[in-house]
Amino acid sequence: MQPPSQPPRSSGRPLVDRHPQHIPLPIGDLRVVRRDYRMSPLYRRFRNDLPNYLALLGVALALAGAVLVVASLTPAVYEENGIVHVGSMVLPPAAAGSAVYDYGGGNLPALALDYEGPQTVGAMNETVGGVVETGRCVMTVSGSAVSATCAFTIGKTSFTSDDSYSLQQQAWLRTYSNGETAVIPVPADGTAIPVPFPVGFSPK
C-alpha cells in the first residue's frame, strides 16, 4: 500500500504530473465557434454617417482656425505711459500735455482724445494711398461696462460700428454695420481708449 502522503499512482506515475514543464491546461473544444453578431440600427446608422460627421468636423475646425487667424492679425490699440499704440505704430503726443497724437504731420494718422466726464471721444484722420480716412468714436463707461459707438469714412464709403469691451478677453469686440466683426486686443499693461481706426474692416 502507498503511504498516505503520496497521491495514488497509475502505471507507476502520479495521476497529475507536477513537473514545471508539464502543467495541465484545459483547452476545451477545438472546434471553431461561429457567432452571429448583429449590429444595432443606431450603430449601423452611425457607421454609415461617419464620413459626413468627419466632414462637418473638418469644416468646423477650418472655421475656428480662420477666426483665430483673423483675430491674430487685428492690431492692438491702447495707450501706455501717455503714448498711443496702434499695432506696431507709435503715436506720441504732439506736444507736452497734448491730447493729440501723431507723427508730426504729413499723411500719417493723427488721433485726438477728448475726455468729457464718463465719455471719451476719439477722432482720427489719415490719408492712405491718396484716400482720406476718418473715424470718430464715443466711449462710455457705466460701472464696469465699457462700450463705444463709432462712425467711419473711407473715401466715399461710410459705415459704423458698435464696440463692447470684454474684461475677460481684454479686448474690444467690434461689430461693423456690414456684419463684419473684429477683436481688438488691449495688453494687460495698456489702457483701453476709443478706437477710431477701421481695423479689421474690408470694404466691399
Residue 104 lies in a domain: yes
182 in Cβ contact with 166 (< 8 Å): no
Using CA atoms in the order 67, 69, 70, 73, what is the torsion angle rounded to 10 degrees?
160
Which residue, among 85, 149, 147, 138, has the nearest Cα to 114 in the 3D structure? 138
**Cell numbers at 28, concatenated:** 476545451
Residues 115-141: tens digit of each pLDDT: 877 889 999 988 878 889 999 999 999
Q: State if pTM tops 0.85.
A: no
Task: Give, as one character, the DSSP assignment of residue 93.
Answer: B
Q: Which helix (H) or strand (E) holds 150?
A: strand 145-154
Asked whether residue 93 falls in the same domain as residue 154, the answer is: yes
Asked whether residue 48 falls in the same domain as residue 86, the answer is: no
Asked whether residue 159 falls in the same domain as residue 117, the answer is: yes
Count structural domains, the chain.
Answer: 2
Residue 141 CA to residue 192 CA, distance in Å, equals 11
Residues 24-44: tens digit of each pLDDT: 545 555 555 555 556 666 666
Distinct helix (H) and strand (E) counts, the chain = 1, 13
Burial state string for 174-193 with b = 16 or more CB within 10 A and e = fewer than 16: bebeeebebbbbbeeebebb
Per-residue pLDDT of the chain (204 residues; tens, 9 = 90+): 445 555 445 455 555 555 555 555 455 555 555 555 566 666 666 567 666 656 555 554 544 443 433 444 588 999 998 889 988 888 888 776 677 777 555 555 688 888 877 889 999 988 878 889 999 999 999 888 999 999 999 999 999 999 999 999 999 999 999 999 999 999 999 999 999 999 988 876
Asked whether residue 69 falls in the same domain as residue 82, the answer is: no
Domain of residue 68, residue span: 40-73
Phi first, then psi: what are they for 112, rounded to 5°?
-125, 135
> Of the residues 48, 73, 98, which one is the last residue of a structural domain?
73
Residue 159 lies in a domain: yes
The amino acid at residue 148 is A
Residue 32 lies in a domain: no
Asked whether residue 82 falls in the same domain as residue 181, the answer is: yes
What is the Cα Rg of the chain in Å? 37
